[in-house]
Structure 1
Amino acid sequence: MNDLLPKYEEAKNQLTLKQKVGQLFMPAAFINDTEEEVQKLEYLINTLDIGAICFFHSRASAATNFEGKKKVVHNEKSYDRLLQLIERYQKAANIPLLIAIDAEWGLAMRIENTPQYPYAITLGAIQEQPKLLFDVGKHIGLDCLNAGVHWNLSPVVDINNNPENPVIGYRSFGDDRVTVTSKSLAYIQGMSSVGVLNSVKHFPGHGDTATDSHLGLPVIDKSKETLMENELFPFKKHIQEGVDSVMVGHLSIPSLDESGNPSTTSYPIITELLRNELGFNGVIISDALNMHAVSKHYTEKGTLEAAAFKAGMDMMCFTENPTEGIAEILNAATAERIEESFRRVWQLKEKAFLSNGSKQASNPMEFEELNRKLAHFSLTECYGDEATIQKLKAGQFLNLSIGSPVENLFSKSVENTLERQHHQVKSENLTDITQLVASNENVVLALFPPAVKPKGVFGFETAILEFIRKLIAQKNVLIYLFGNPYVCNILESEANSNLVIAYQDFRVFQEVAFEHFQDKFEAKGKLPFQMKSASHS
């Protein structure tokens, strides 16, 4: 592979039309693939002049295993494997590849044993600290850069205004358009400062849906005026600020396209709205084209890619049929239309390869220190009657926990420092714990939800969830929640319930939560969405 990327003016004349179309394709690359699959992708890259690849963990991970039927095998050496594969795929390429990944909360989203930063919802709780958001973007950018990744397909700028959302939720900065916009701008500025490309997603807004577009096509039945006012607000602002790329989600929005076509193959949404009306001149990239919201509608190989291109798409992400897709586009599109997309993609490549982005050594201490600051500024008190809390802490209380984090540092600290024996609540000891609770008025409960997504009430067993609800209703309870704050919506907590949200179960977040429990600092975070009232059931 020639490491030197020619400038667009040269490339325009050097590449054939077929090579130019190949540059618009981004197949998935799996870190934990078999040698046979790796060689297949090397062959495609080499023979089709593929322009970009996007890395995922494995074929059993959420990106392909939508129903969760395959078991994900963890690989402690995934990071080393990623570096080897990037080198191999770049060697196979005649034209340098753009390497992309979803690293919304760091490479840890896809790769074991890499720095993990908080979810967007945690960052959404932080008040008036744009520098911290900038630092998160910068750290994630450096981690990408050091791995050989040019393009972080983040951040999510969807406004999560539906608490039942199965696929956005904790990946959003919240339900307020201004918060979502300001946080994502700071995050992007951090990434850009080290020369890593970005992508705002999922246009025109995936926040107000209860359907997972991996499985089906969500329908958003809102007027164009409402969407412009809210869902499209962050996208408009990012376009004004010069975002590198916009990712289009798989959504049916009748007010924008009455045909019911998914936005990924919609000319009115991609070309008329995003390109012409909102004035976006950069690269438009699709959400993964393997997702059932669109793939089910295009059974003939290559027709989905061609339909997306015809609608105005520049880059086909997670294309499963590049050979057929390239042939279909060559057969149907004009040379001028191909050149438009090729120019945009090539100029993005130029920015990645010719930018001043420089590798810098990541300092593990800096990463831990940043997470500690984020823990301090995000920790949120909800409801909470201060007098009751102080009375509870000063007297006798039961030290309980629910869930199985890697390490329950919080409950251990309560046990070791205050000599309150820790009891982990499980379905098999529920009778014994219930008896313990009966003879105690006060309870401190560390809550580690089994799952981060709302499907199946965040993984809670029915008996355990009922136990929590009864505890809240009948006792003086102080809950520390180490997980997705949307869990609050299923707890049936009352306005006088004492709830502290720590958001993450990382070691430093637990340490900071215990400092808060000891009254060493005041909570500064604010819940980034409106909580449901307890009257629901």
Structure 2
Amino acid sequence: MRLLFFAVLFIALKPVLFAQTTDPLLTPDANEQLKWVDSIYASMTLDEKIGQLFMVQAFSNKGLRHENIISQMVTNNHIGGIIFSKGDPVNQARFNNELQDVAKVPLLVGMDAEWGLSMRLDSTYAFPWNMTLGAIKDNQLVAKAGYHIGEHCKRLGVHFNFAPDIDINTNPKNPIIGNRSFGEDRENVTEKAAVFMQGMHDAGILSSAKHFPGHGDTDTDSHKALPTIDFDLKRIDSIEMYPYKRLIKEGVSSVMVAHLNVPALEPENGLPTSLSKHVITDILKDQLGFKGLIFTDALNMKGVADFDSPGAIDLAAFQAGNDILLISEDVPKAIDKIREAYNAGDITEERLAHSVKKILKAKYKVELNKYIPVDLDNLISDLNRPEDDVLYEKLMENAITVVKNKGDVLPIRNLETKKIAYVKLGDDDGTDFLKGLQKYGKVHEVIGDNLDEVIEKLKAYNTVIIGFHRSNDTPWKSFEFSDKELVWLYEIARTNTVILDVFVRPYALLDVKTLENVESLVVSYQNSPKAQDASAQVIFGAVQAQGNLPVSIGNGFVVGNGITLSSLSRLGYTTPERVGMSSEKLHKIDAVAQRAVDEKMTPGIQLLVARKGKVIYNKNFGKHTYDTDSEPVKFNDIYDVASLTKILATLPLLMELEEKGIVSLDTKLSKILPEYTNSNKKDITLKQMLSHYARLSPWIPFYFATLDSNKLPDPKYYRKEYGGKFTVKVANELYMRADYQDSMQKIIRESDLLKTLRYRYSDLPYYILKKYLEKYYEKGLDELVQDHFYQSLGANHTTYNPNTKFSDINIVPSEMDDYYRYQKVQGYVHDMGAAMQGGVGGHAGIFSNANDVAKIMQTYLQKGFYGGKRYFKSVTLDKFNTCFYCDKDNRRGIGFDKPQLGESGPTCGCVSMTSFGHSGFTGTYAWADPEEEIVYVFLANRTYPNAGANTLLKENIRTDIQALIYEAIID
């Protein structure tokens, strides 16, 4: 009967005979390798040979007693390898070096590092799980994951990574595989496993395909009991064993045999596959032609340990055809059993040599013939590199899968019409997701003690983003929705437009009985901070969505589903190396910014650098003021950006009108404002005055004339209370006569021109343009910029008069005014002329944070396109970014400042001549360089507590930082 069984099995598997034609353990210098192997083998005693068969589990966090036990095992039992488990990398490297030092033959070191060393060690890198990688279309990214993990292993002195897991997870209830599998589709699993394996090989690390013959379709954990795979030969051959054929053919280093009960492959009832000669020798070695190393799965697992006594199990495993006995329960007893069997003739010298020489070949292949101890210097940093962050981000961005997108809700467009709420479900943190969403638009977290309360609050919103967050610590953590959460999800989706984003394995959605009322469904796979941030970028169109489901999730969504979403060209957020910058070199900026704070050039700073559409540096320094109890600067704090207002507010409105043909650069003042017809300024063109080449006075101190003889606000012009003519709020409890604004315009109109035509910076053009723009649109400048730009850009922290919208805790104060308003200036514009216009000036008055300023500068850099919307034509940007009077020693563009023409000027002197930007009196600075695709934003309140000497400018802080940015470019 047994012969008949294996005859049928042979026929079923015959098409894959002799798939592996070469030995995966051989090196290019095979002759030298085999000489070394034979020499070592010949020098060994019997016990030393038997010892090579054992790979013992070691920990780097169990202290000296444990280390002594393992060390004695290496010395006394001559074990051939170590599989390291929990601990930390520095202690493991030290312990490893000590063990190698006492080993007669260098030890083969293995680890379970399926998604990186962090599977076992703290302070090491965690790459995405296989299920996440299974969603990626670009297999070269998966190969890079294998390569990076291989590099980490090699750096730590690990030679064998027990990966990839090639189980095809066709059972959603599988308790032990799940996220460790690339998915349920055999082709996808095989492709991903093959390239992942090759990546490790390219890094010089040996691979291990597991868990043979296939652990994907079981609901039992073999750590706790013996699972049964109860399928026929045809099914097992076509599904479970399918990836092994390809990987064996392509040179997988080893195969790990699982503890499974597979009646179709082993007729003896209850015999684990790891102890089955028929499974290991007849099928894996003979029929599949595998020539590499064969490992048992851990022999202390209940799936095999309960089968027989310690020692007897090891002997049975070796006799079945395994080469390496992993984590034996009792190594001395197992050695005794194998020695007894050898002496009794049950194990031949040929059989022993077959496995031991394979082990020695593997040791030679990983260069243990010229063993070098692990270098402990810089170990932690070498295992946590910037390039690993770059890869992780790419992997997550490519994995995130949009499964449903009814009505093209995603990516979110038309921010000016959106009122967005975020509701968190699950028991893990979603802070990074919420922060990521809030970088793009007004997103408010809605919380409540009960469903009715939440539903009522959500009536104020037209879009609801639900994030489902469960622990990302290990792939075995619980991932299901609770019954309460399922009810909440159903009810919220029934009454709202919902985007559901799940940061868990896709199987969580099997419990959601209906997704009909969910407009958009996103699977983000993991709840790591980078996964949350990447998903927020997908939702708002900063990056594409391009993943496919690696498994089926019910509700009609099957493996392979995935909707590709294009980018809307919004700012993304990434690591410097991803856009050709050096993190290490950018870090030098910190010292310069901190020096500015420490030496009291400014109380605080917001700093942002973006390149190629990605924010790569965004940090805060100092506090709102020099007071010890002052608020530290936060990302959402807003600064008075002073003259940046010119290019953030007035200029884009004028560019719109020029593009529409309402005005041209040659339009004269008398044309746009008839009251200038009889003025000495009637023939000044927009081009001239915006290039600061129009003989206009640099500045008129309008407020001087409104002070009394004691230099206090004259009651003729000011009141403490609002009412009557006194409606222009200048500061707290200070209202100016509304008609004085006409007087300011009259003063400008009647002012003298400078005697000499030369470059002379002036605020006056922006007083004039404010008057024109508000007259043309019959709307205030503050409303215009919100309607035309800020709302649709998602510049939600950019506004005039922030005190009407934001708390003082988020508004950085500008000055302790002791010459005009005589109070702390916070939430009111610092510039006196702008204050006299109710805080809304064409030249000053805008408050913003670095992130919002960067959005506007990026719009300019992208020639007027941002967030899926074209604000300007490319030709318009080029026109306004032209220096028309360079030959007159005037560097200015139309509204934009430009790089210096000589030695001194507004930049570091290292930017391109096509770059542009502006600076502000309060210490602010924004610059964009089209050639290097760099945006640089520096916000400060150097005027607090008083404007005084501009040390920030004298010490070249802003331009020194700009120089460091350019020094950090590495491509």
Into which bin does the TM-score normalised by the smaller protein fall? 0.7 to 0.9
Residue-pair matches, total: 509
| CA distance, structure 1, for counterparts of residue 140 and residue 476 of structure 2 | 34
1:367 to partner: Cα distance: 0.9
Question: Could you tell me how far 1:523 is from its partner in structure 2?
Answer: 1.2
Tell me the CA shift for residue 262 of structure 1.
Answer: 0.7
In structure 1, how many angstroms separate the alpha carbons of the residues matched to 2:370 and 2:486?
Answer: 52
Deviations 1:23-52 (A, max 9, x none): 010111112113211111111111000001
> Which residue among 431, 434, 439 is the counterpart of 1:411?
434
The alignment-based identity, stated in percent, is 33
Taking the aligned partners of 2:362 and 2:447, their CA distance within structure 1 comes to: 52
Q: Which of the pair has the greater relative contact order for Cα pairs under 8 Å at 6+ separation?
A: 1
Task: Identify which of 198, 215, 234 aligns with 1:225.
Answer: 234
Greater Cα shift, 337-346 or 102-111 = 337-346
- Tell me if 1:266 matches 2:276: yes
Distance 1:479 1:407, change over 3 A: closer
1:528 is the counterpart of 2:550: yes
- Bigger CA drift: 457-466 or 279-288? 457-466
Q: Which residue of 2 aligns with 1:117?
A: 127
Aligned to 2:187: 178
- Measured in 1, the distance between the counterparts of 2:480 and 2:370 equals 45
Residue 81 of structure 1, CA deviation:
1.4
Label 1:430 to 1:35 Cα distance change in 2 as closer, same or farther (>3 A): farther
* Amino acid across the alignment from 1:47: N
Instruction: Report deviation, 1:495.
Output: 5.0
Q: Deviations over 1:144-187 (max 9, x none)?
A: 11111111110001111111111111111111111111111111
Who wins on radius of gyration, i.e. which is larger? 2
Q: Partners in 1 of 2:114 and 2:159 — Cα distance?
A: 14
Corresponding position: 1:31 with 2:40: no
Secondary structure at the counterpart of residue 281 of structure 2: helix
* Matching residue within 321, 328, 339 for 1:312: 321
Instruction: Tell me which amino acid in the other structure corresponds to 1:492.
Output: K
Matching residue within 41, 49, 53 for 2:70: 41
What is the CA–CA distance in structure 1 between the aligned matches of 2:61 and 2:181, rounded to whole Å? 28
Distance 1:401 1:429, change over 3 A: same
1:255 counterpart SS class: coil
In the alignment, the residues of structure 2 paired with residue 461 and residue 215 of structure 1 have an alpha-carbon distance, to the nearest angstrom, of: 26
Q: 1:459: how far off?
A: 6.1
Q: What's the CA shift for 1:341?
A: 1.1
Whether the 8 Å contact between 2:446 and 2:457 is mirrored in structure 1 is: no
Describe the shift of the 1:452–1:164 C-alpha distance in structure 2 as closer, same or farther (beyond 3 A).
farther
Following the alignment from structure 2 to structure 1, what is the Cα–Cα distance between the partners of residues 462 and 540?
20
Aligned-partner SS, 1:27 = strand
The alignment status of 1:158 with 2:164, answered yes or no, reads no
Which one-letter code corresponds to 2:50 in the other structure?
V
- Where do 5+ consecutive residues of structure 1 fail to align? 59-77
Distance 2:543 2:486 in 1: 31
Distance 2:507 2:201 in 1: 31
Deviation of 1:412 (Å): 2.1
2:380 equivalent to 1:344: no
Contact persistence 2:52–2:79 (CA under 8 A): yes
Partners in 2 of 1:219 and 1:334 — Cα distance?
33
8 Å Cα contact 2:106-2:371 kept in structure 1: no
1:291 aligned to which of 291, 301, 304: 301
Deviation at 1:124?
0.7
Structure-to-structure mapping, 1:479-518, within 5 angstroms: 479-495=500-516, 497=518, 498-518=520-540
Farther off after superposition, 383-392 or 499-508: 383-392
Q: Does 2:371 correspond to 1:371?
A: no
Deviation string 1:343-389 (CA, Å, 9 cap, x unpaired) is 11111111112699999966722111111211221111012213455
Partner of 2:110: 100
Deviation at 1:465, TM superposition (A): 4.3
With over 3 angstroms needed to count, the CA separation of the structure-2 counterparts of 1:477 and 1:355, relative to structure 1, is farther
- Mapped partners of 2:505, 2:101: distance in 1: 41
The separation in 2 between residues aligned to 1:136 and 1:381, in whole angstroms, is 23
**AA at the equivalent of 2:74:** I
User: What aligned pairs does 1:224-263 form with structure 2 within 5 A after superposition?
Assistant: 224-260=233-269, 261-263=271-273
What SS class does the counterpart of residue 220 from structure 2 fall into? coil
Amino acid at match of 2:550: P
Structure 1 counterpart SS, 2:551 = coil
Q: Which has the higher helix share?
A: 1
SS at match of 1:511: helix
TM-superposed CA distance for 1:397, in Å, is 3.4
Question: Hey, what does 1:464 align to over in structure 2?
Answer: 485
Q: Which amino acid aligns with 1:194?
A: A
Change over 3 Å in CA distance of 1:334–1:355 after alignment to 2: closer
Of 171, 194, 200, which aligns to 1:191? Answer: 200
Normalised by the size of structure 1, how large is the TM-score?
A: 0.88
Greater Cα shift, 369-378 or 249-258? 369-378
- 1:484 deviation in Å? 1.8
Q: 1:388 to 1:493 in 2, by over 3 A?
A: farther
Distance (whole Å) between structure 2 residues aligned to residue 450 and residue 429 of structure 1:
23
Unpaired segments ≥5 residues, structure 2:
1-32, 342-346, 558-971
Q: Is the CA contact (8 Å cut-off) linking 2:311 and 2:331 kept in structure 1?
A: yes
- What's 2:331 paired with? 322
Of residues 57, 60, 71, the one that matches 2:86 is: 57
Give, in whole Å, the separation in 2 of the partners of 1:130 and 1:320.
39
Deviation at 1:509?
A: 2.3
Name which of structure 1's ranges 154-163 and 25-34 shifts more when overlaid on structure 2.
Answer: 25-34
Task: Quickly say closer, same or farther: Cα 1:23–1:423, change in 2 above 3 A.
Answer: farther
Offset at residue 110 of structure 1 (A): 0.8
Matching residue of 2:632:
none
Give the letter aligned to residue 288 of structure 1: A
1:463 CA displacement = 2.8
**Alignment-mate amino acid for residue 193 of structure 2:** S
2:222 matched to 1:213?
Answer: yes
